[in-house]
Amino acid sequence: MKRLPADQLLAWFAHARRDLPWRQQRTPWRVWVAEIMLQQTTALVASKRFPEFMQRFATPRALAGAEESAALAAWAGLGYYRRVRSLQQAARVVVRDHAGSVPRNEQILRGLPGIGDYTAAAIVALAFNQPAAVIDANVARVMARWLGHESPVNSQAFRSAAREVLLHSVPAAQARNFSEALIELGALLCRAAAADCAACPLARSCVAHSTQSVERFPHPAPRKLSTAVDSLRLLVRRGRRVVMVQRPADAALLPGFWELPGAWLPRGSATDAAMLRTLLAPIGLKAAGEGRVLRQVSHSITTHRLRCRLVEVDARGRLRSAALVDPTAPQRNLTTESAKLLRVGAI
């Protein structure tokens, strides 16, 4: 079986590695937090937020015992808040079932909230220096080019081939540096655009480089068809505060976030007085009149393309299942859709 040239890779990494805050002290908890931050955040942004988060929550026990609001506040600026909620849930499991110590078993790690195959492998390799197939987007790109693999990077065929090569190539005593070197290589040299093959330690054995076809790889996954929907959001003012509702804690999408009352509707649905009454009734309000359209914006989320409409409504009644919220308050967790509408609505 073809092996990656580990010696050349490690020699390159020894002088090219970036000085990132989570590399300064390699505890399993620090590795875990960093990997969760980096899932959907750039290294530059994560580097700025990581030290403060670790100062507040230096151990799983510290995060497990904190209020959710404190965890969310420490995560402010990183987005995708489901990640920190899952991290806190997982920390509580670690405290309850593992005496506060991060497990070193990959299978046990995969059973914790918010940890998938990649994160489990990363913790095992980067924190415990054990061989594992650590395949993030950077490594997938490197491996697709090096192998010249024609399958999409999310396919089982590609994943199996990459995993087999990685486990066959990793030096037993250098699992941490080997895995991190591949991640760094994808971030710094084997970039999606403008790959620097001249400086790459894998170039001599890379299929894509030798066939002058680097730009062809990796093959992307087929795109899912998106659904076009209308979103009607209602603006009910009380001074600087507006009526908002909080998404359920068990919602599949953006749990716990605040948003303007309203709903997603099939494209072309009527937004007349009857619809306003239907949307306001669950929160105890009644509309006076038709309402006034303030603005329409576009927004995309998961596989949906939204045409969002903000309608100002004069409404009265006793609020239930809703609250008066100052949307400009620091660290207020608003859905992106509502944040967009409130910015353009000149609150």
Q: Among residues 133, 206, 140, which one has the least CA distance to residue 166?
A: 133
Distance between CA atoms of 116 and 123, rounded to whole angstroms? 11
Alpha helices in 123-257 (DSSP H): 128, 137-147, 156-169, 175-188, 207-210
* Contact predicate 187/138, CB 8 Å: yes
CA atoms of 114 and 168, how far apart (whole Å)? 28
Whether residue 92 contacts residue 66, with contact meaning beta carbons closer than 8 Å, is answered with no
Which residue type does 291 have?
G
**Of 123, 59, 70, 118, the residue nearest 92 (C-alpha):** 59
Return the active site residues: 35
- In the numeric block, which tokens belong to residue 231? 């979103």
Which residue matches tokens 């006034």? 292
Separation of alpha carbons 105 and 124, rounded Å: 7
Q: Going along the chain, which residue ranges are E strands? A: 227-235, 237-238, 241-246, 258-259, 262-266, 285-287, 292-301, 304-312, 315-317, 323-325
Q: 120 to each of 104, 132, 172, 186, 229, how far by Cα in Å? A: 9, 9, 18, 20, 36
Contact indicator for 140, 148 with CB cutoff of 8 Å: no
